[in-house]
Amino acid sequence: MLREFKADLHIHTSLSPCADEEMFPGRIIEQAKMNNLDIVGICDHNSAENVIATQKIGQREDIAVIGGIEATSQEEVHILALFDSVQELFKFQEIIYEKLSGFNDEKVFGRQLIINENDEVTGSSSRLLIGATYLSLQEIVQTICSLGGLSIASHIDRESFSIISQLGFIPEGLILDALELSPNYKQRTSSFSGMRINPELYGFPLVTFSDAHFLRDIGKSFTIFLMKEASIGEIKKALSGEDGRKVMI
């Protein structure tokens, strides 16, 4: 039986130094419920350390939580990597951590808080999560694919940290599952310094999520998936329009 799932798969927590410190898992789930979201994706910069806590709270509150990471390639391109299982997600995190150097300066970039399922601060990450990894875009996308994850190029209509802003094009053969448009894409008609971009021309399925760094932005932009259940396999089927599944933005 197919049904519509309202999904915002690009949400940061207080682990991302640039996110508001109120982005605690419990409050994120609360906000997701207020906005009638069925699925949220937790994608902090280069880390997944608040995923399990959010999944536990989501389970209690009947919101599906897909764990992910917003990885930064050496070209400074942001890629969303989402996984069904935390085992695969943490394998991906390990690969990212091996290729991410430096320490966070809290005074410059902000704190990186780790929160438990009771919404209590249990620690903080000392890694430079805001930095770029030494992994190429190709390597990141191939790794996500080999671990069975979903890879989405983040906010392609933004003038920083997007595949289009950094490279100007999408390399041939890159096995992305979708391209993400930022919440403002409709109003701004997706322009780069006044030059219009037409995301349809790239030939990939399009999705839009909030990239929320503040509670008020959760669900500001979302995608509806017509599918059977909240899983990566079903999302992939919806993106490729298989077996009656589809995507609506």
Give least dist CB 66 to Zn ion, A.
15
User: Which residue number, 8 or 234, has a Cβ lying nearer to Zn ion?
Assistant: 8
Q: How far is the CB of 41 from Zn ion (least distance, A)?
A: 10
- Contact pick of 8, 20, 38, 70 for Zn ion (by CB under 5 A): 70
Give least dist CB 3 to Zn ion, A.
Answer: 28
CB of 160 to Zn ion, least distance (A): 8
The residue (of 68 and 246) whose beta carbon lies closer to Zn ion is: 68
- Tell me which stretch binds Zn ion (CB under 5 A): 50-58, 70-78, 98-106, 223-231: 70-78
Q: In this chain, which stretch among 27-35, 153-161, 168-176, 189-197 interacts with Zn ion, using CB under 5 A? A: 153-161
Q: Which stretch binds Zn ion (CB under 5 A): 111-119, 126-134, 147-155, 236-244?
A: 147-155
CB of 246 to Zn ion, least distance (A): 25
Q: How far is the CB of 190 from Zn ion (least distance, A)?
A: 16
Place of tokens 């519509």: 4
To Zn ion, the closest distance from the beta carbon of 101 in angstroms equals 20
Nearer to Zn ion, 183 or 205 (CB): 183
DSSP string, the chain: --EEEEEEEEE--TTSTTS-TT--HHHHHHHHHHTT-SEEEEEEETB-TTHHHHHHHHHHHT-EEEEEEEEE-TT--EEEEEESSHHHHHHHHHHHHHT---B--HHHH---EEE-TTS-EEEE--B-TTSPPS--HHHHHHHHHHTT-EEEE--TTSSSSSHHHHHSS--TT---SEEEEPTTHHHHTSEETTEE--GGGG-S-EEE---BSSGGGTTSS-EEEEESSSSHHHHHHHHTTGGG-EEE-
181: Cβ contacts below 8 Å, ≥ 6 apart? 155, 156, 157, 190, 199, 206, 207, 208, 221, 249
Does 78 bind Zn ion (CB under 5 A)? Our answer is yes
Task: Compare residues 154 and 190 and give the one whose CB is closer to Zn ion.
Answer: 154
Count of residues binding Zn ion (CB under 5 A)?
Answer: 4
Restricting to residues 203-242, name those near Zn ion by CB under 5 A: 211
Binding footprint of Zn ion on the chain (CB under 5 A): 70, 78, 154, 211
